[in-house]
Structure 1
Amino acid sequence: MSDIPRDLVVAGASAGGVEALREFVAGLPADFPAAVLVVLHLPAGGVSSLPAILGRSGALPATSARHGEALQRGHIYAAPPDHHLLVEDGRIRLSRGPTENGHRPAIDATFRSAAQARGPGVIGVILSGALDDGAGGLSVIKHRGGLVMVQDPTEALYSGMPESALARVEVDCVLPCVRMGAELARRVREVVDGDGDDVPSLSLLDQVEAQAASASEYEAMSLPEVVDVMGPSGFSCPDCQGVLFEFDGRGTRYRCRVGHAWTAQALFEQQSQDIEHALWAALRALEEKRDLAVRMTKDAEEHGFTLVANRYRWHQDESSRAVEVLRQFLLDGPAPQDQEPPGRSA
């Protein structure tokens, strides 16, 4: 039997996450005996100001994570833009592996990696964010014996991520951000049983997912590929248009053969955006067709080609009607989320 400390905290946030993270780190004491990894969804370009914001918000130093550096207790490491933040042999590993739900860094990638590396020595924290990012990774932390903590959804600026975590994972604590620091300071001083026989191993599917995020050629040689352990879903990947494979047979998570990962909720939202983009492109094409038909009608009339002019005038009228219908549909937008779809009754 061997005991290990809870010396690694991983926190994930998205929309509304900067405010939540500031309150979160403000409550961590200067003698906090654990390393803290922070993942906030960021655009790929530019330099993140998150480390500076977090460093000013609390007693712990905060820096942008660097590939290969050793984890130190009492230090906050923020995931840099366009890189997954992973843990390997007590060190940070930065990876440009496939995006998850369109994000890199991805919360789930960090959570899975931490759970794989430290087992019950990890505490996972979900803060404000939309959709359901982080719930899958949080379940892996819980499965491996770690603790899981979630921001109270009623105080989160965006409650989607906290609510999804509560729906899918048996959470240990639900607290406002301002109270999380004190609770973590108490929990990280606990020593837990780290005997390998008592800690559940990662499932094969979780190992394959961890492999995809790390983008390691060595690991890719030692594990089966996505296509070998998952069944095709019938859906296509928004990132590469390849086939998406169903993760668990329940239609909640998907991954393509090159590694892009999607939850059902994120996939639905992305498909909705793709459809809207396609409809705006169709509207532009219809307006151009209408305008071209006007010119060709005029040209045919000037040359005395009455039948040709009538044909192009018909195309002009058809395109005009289609433009009117499509523009109205796009401007009206989807029904509000609290409104019942047509034909549905209580």
Structure 2
Amino acid sequence: MERKATKIIVIGTSAGGMQALCKLLAAVPENLPASVLIVQHLSTDSSAPFLVNRLNQFTKLTCKVARHEEKIEPATVYMAPADRHLLLRDNELLVVRGPRENQFRPSIDPLFRSAAAYHGPNTIGVILTGFMSDGVLGMECISRSGGTTVVQDPSDAEFPALPLNVLRHIAVDHAVELNIMGNLLVELVQEHVSGSVTVPSDIWAEAKIAEKVMTSSTMTSINELENSGERTSYSCPECGGGLWDMSEEGNITRYRCHSGHAFSRESLLTSMTNHVEETLWVALRTLEERRNILLNMSQNESNKGNRRWATMQEEKAEEMKVHIERLRLLLSQSALSDDEQMGEVG
């Protein structure tokens, strides 16, 4: 698919991102001949206007919260609002409450993928400090579409896991510290890209699928998914629907369901693990409630003088206690494992 494109800088970050963004944008001149679009992982109750006001204190660029169907302008920074995805459609912003990707909304991958689809080699993808792997697939889309990939040096990042995940999967063009990244971006946006933009067909197809699902709230047709990917034996942990492998051979594995939820392999595993843990907590609560009912029944039968029936209920309650203790041990071991993993990647 061929598209003409303008210079676009897309930035994705998670934990520690606000401090990194302030430092980065402070080094960028006010006449930057490119638009800057940012996805920072936010909780649903976060205030994007507050964060934008903070950015405005550190940069001469115009910073604003992205608005749906707004046309992008050079020397302007657009930040995704809380609980909304930010995408590009040509030179127009799409701010939508679509299905989560990699368990996040806003998610980095949809922005990067849409920028790669519409702007190809004129796209500059930047990943800063953070946890987990959201943004890795988006960086691959930019790289495969001829764009430029820039990642914060993990040794310079407050939380190096996200930059490390990018470096583990992609041969990026630049891995640099924040204090030189601003000047690097100025140089990159001034570089001339000759010829037309050629975007791989699978990236274009998935960008259009995501755009359709997120803007119209309609599910992806099974035929669309069958034509673009291969059905797997996995279920979506968000909605329970089937998952399709959308990746081309030799590229990073990615999954999508007909409801629009999308995952990298790492985020799918994390989501499945979380779902299992939630199910175990529900089971634990149910078992505890059942044990309490059995103990109450035993006490009532004992008060009536029905010792035989009271003993039977008491024995069932003791059997339930064994299952409860096993579940508690399993959940505590899971929590310890999560803490150890966070320590390794943090």
Question: Corresponding residue for 2:254?
Answer: 253
Structure 2: gaps (5+ residues): none
Residue aligned with 2:39, SS: strand
**Map of 1:170-319 to 2, 5 A cutoff?**
170-193=171-194, 195-196=195-196, 199-204=197-202, 206-215=204-213, 216=215, 225-248=224-247, 252-319=253-320
- Given that 1:8 and 1:123 are in contact with CA atoms closer than 8 Å, whether structure 2 keeps it comes out as yes
Question: Corresponding residue for 1:108?
Answer: 109
More off after superposition, 272-281 vs 74-83: 272-281
**Does 2:157 align with 1:159?**
no
Residues 276-304 of structure 1: CA deviation (Å, up to 9, x unaligned): 22222222222212211111111112223
Residues 144-167 of structure 1: CA deviation (Å, up to 9, x unaligned): 221110001112122222112112
For 1:167 and 1:200, locate their aligned partners in 2 and report how far apart those are by CA, in whole Å.
Answer: 26
- Given that 1:6 and 1:187 are in contact with CA atoms closer than 8 Å, whether structure 2 keeps it comes out as no
Question: Corresponding residue for 2:331?
Answer: 330
For 1:271 and 1:218, locate their aligned partners in 2 and report how far apart those are by CA, in whole Å.
Answer: 24
183 and 6 in structure 1: CA distance in 2 versus 1, 3 angstrom threshold? farther
* Number of residue pairs aligned between Structure 1 and Structure 2: 333
Question: Corresponding residue for 1:47?
Answer: 47
For 1:89 and 1:62, locate their aligned partners in 2 and report how far apart those are by CA, in whole Å.
Answer: 20
Question: Corresponding residue for 1:13?
Answer: 13
Deviation at 1:108, TM superposition (A): 1.0
> What is the letter of the counterpart of residue 35 of structure 1?
S
For 1:10 and 1:152, locate their aligned partners in 2 and report how far apart those are by CA, in whole Å.
Answer: 17
- Given that 1:101 and 1:267 are in contact with CA atoms closer than 8 Å, whether structure 2 keeps it comes out as yes
For 1:210 and 1:106, locate their aligned partners in 2 and report how far apart those are by CA, in whole Å.
Answer: 16
Deviation at 1:227, TM superposition (A): 3.5
For 1:222 and 1:304, locate their aligned partners in 2 and report how far apart those are by CA, in whole Å.
Answer: 64
For 1:57 and 1:118, locate their aligned partners in 2 and report how far apart those are by CA, in whole Å.
Answer: 28
For 1:229 and 1:91, locate their aligned partners in 2 and report how far apart those are by CA, in whole Å.
Answer: 25
Residue aligned with 1:225, SS: helix
Question: Corresponding residue for 1:343?
Answer: none
- Given that 2:85 and 2:106 are in contact with CA atoms closer than 8 Å, whether structure 1 keeps it comes out as yes
Deviation at 1:271, TM superposition (A): 1.8
> What is the letter of the counterpart of residue 329 of structure 1?
L
For 2:200 and 2:301, locate their aligned partners in 1 and report how far apart those are by CA, in whole Å.
Answer: 72
- Given that 1:36 and 1:76 are in contact with CA atoms closer than 8 Å, whether structure 2 keeps it comes out as yes
- Given that 1:84 and 1:106 are in contact with CA atoms closer than 8 Å, whether structure 2 keeps it comes out as yes
Residues 82-121 of structure 1: CA deviation (Å, up to 9, x unaligned): 2221222322222233221122222111111111222211
Question: Corresponding residue for 2:139?
Answer: 138
> What is the letter of the counterpart of residue 228 of structure 1?
N
- Given that 1:34 and 1:73 are in contact with CA atoms closer than 8 Å, whether structure 2 keeps it comes out as yes
Deviation at 1:324, TM superposition (A): 2.4
For 1:25 and 1:338, locate their aligned partners in 2 and report how far apart those are by CA, in whole Å.
Answer: 29
For 1:204 and 1:224, locate their aligned partners in 2 and report how far apart those are by CA, in whole Å.
Answer: 15
Deviation at 1:176, TM superposition (A): 1.2
- Given that 2:117 and 2:203 are in contact with CA atoms closer than 8 Å, whether structure 1 keeps it comes out as no
For 1:280 and 1:222, locate their aligned partners in 2 and report how far apart those are by CA, in whole Å.
Answer: 35
Residues 199-227 of structure 1: CA deviation (Å, up to 9, x unaligned): 33232354234422443569999995223
For 2:83 and 2:240, locate their aligned partners in 1 and report how far apart those are by CA, in whole Å.
Answer: 21
For 1:178 and 1:298, locate their aligned partners in 2 and report how far apart those are by CA, in whole Å.
Answer: 70
- Given that 1:211 and 1:219 are in contact with CA atoms closer than 8 Å, whether structure 2 keeps it comes out as no
More off after superposition, 126-135 vs 216-225: 216-225
Question: Corresponding residue for 1:62?
Answer: 63
Deviation at 1:322, TM superposition (A): 2.2
- Given that 1:14 and 1:128 are in contact with CA atoms closer than 8 Å, whether structure 2 keeps it comes out as yes
> What is the letter of the counterpart of residue 135 of structure 1?
V
Structure 1: gaps (5+ residues): 340-346
For 2:233 and 2:203, locate their aligned partners in 1 and report how far apart those are by CA, in whole Å.
Answer: 19
Question: Corresponding residue for 1:38?
Answer: 38
- Given that 2:220 and 2:258 are in contact with CA atoms closer than 8 Å, whether structure 1 keeps it comes out as no
Question: Corresponding residue for 1:25?
Answer: 25
